[in-house]
A = this chain, B = another copy of it.
Amino acid sequence: MSKTQLGPQTLIYPMPAVLVGANVDGNPNFMTVAWCGIANSDPPMLSVAIRHERHTLGGIKQNLAFSVNVPSTDIVKETDFCGVTRGSKVDKVKVCKFKVFYGKMETVPLVEQCPVNLECRVMHMLNLGTHMFIIGKIEETHVSDSCLTDGKPDVAKIKPFSFVSAPAMNYQSLGAVIGKAFGVGKELQ
């Protein structure tokens, strides 16, 4: 099997597509982020990478707090809209008809239409170059009741989707189950 070297590329698959939210000068704003992941188990933490010039980043700095909202395939247009427009020029909440609510933390806006909402407190901010890399402690998790089964989050109801980078530049839903985690590999033992 031969390989081609492409130089340093930001190539991990699949990436999520989430909405990161913050109050900017007191007004809720949301942006689309694919560069987001879990950072720690206990205490629960996550990370987001945001370009320095983004409006939402200003709000995160003001409050040292932010939200991560997992959208469903039902609002893929709204999710993309929050990535292609600027909060300094457009009221994204109004255009997207987002119902904004607040949970445990008073300055962290959450999107009701997103099945999963995480409230986060900033723990670390690292300037890595083009992006500010933010590690947040997850303070509370909200899940839409319609996306729970026996009181637990049900991915088949949440219907999250993936961002696939260039050259594809698509959003893709989740496909078939191909194996049980912590299970299918045991066949090789």
List residues of A whose CB falls within 8 A of some B CB: 1-18, 34-47, 49, 51, 68, 70, 73, 76-85, 95-96, 99, 101, 103-104, 112-113, 116-118, 123-124, 126, 128-131, 133, 135, 137-146, 148, 151-155, 158, 160-164, 166-189
Contacting residues, chain B, for A184 (C-beta < 8 A): 76-77, 80, 171
Residue of B nearest to A80 (CB): B185
Q: 26 A–B contact pairs at CB < 8 A?
A: A9-B44, A9-B141, A11-B70, A12-B37, A13-B16, A13-B70, A13-B160, A13-B174, A14-B161, A35-B37, A35-B39, A39-B47, A39-B49, A39-B131, A39-B133, A42-B130, A45-B129, A73-B178, A77-B188, A80-B180, A128-B135, A164-B181, A170-B178, A170-B181, A172-B175, A175-B176
Residue of B nearest to A112 (CB): B1
Contacting residues, chain B, for A148 (C-beta < 8 A): 4
**Distance of A180 Cα from B153 Cα, bound (Å):** 27
B81 and A189 form a contact (CB under 8 A) = yes
Contacting residues, chain B, for A73 (C-beta < 8 A): 178
Residue of B nearest to A127 (CB): B40
A8 and B47 form a contact (CB under 8 A) = no
Contacting residues, chain B, for A176 (C-beta < 8 A): 172-173, 175
Contacting residues, chain B, for A166 (C-beta < 8 A): 152
* Copies of this protein in the complex: 2
A136 to chain B, nearest CB (A): 11
CB contact under 8 A between A1 and B35, given known A174-B14, A179-B80, A188-B96: no
**Distance of A129 Cα from B39 Cα, bound (Å):** 10
Contacting residues, chain B, for A16 (C-beta < 8 A): 12-15
Contacting residues, chain B, for A79 (C-beta < 8 A): 185
**Distance of A41 Cα from B170 Cα, bound (Å):** 19
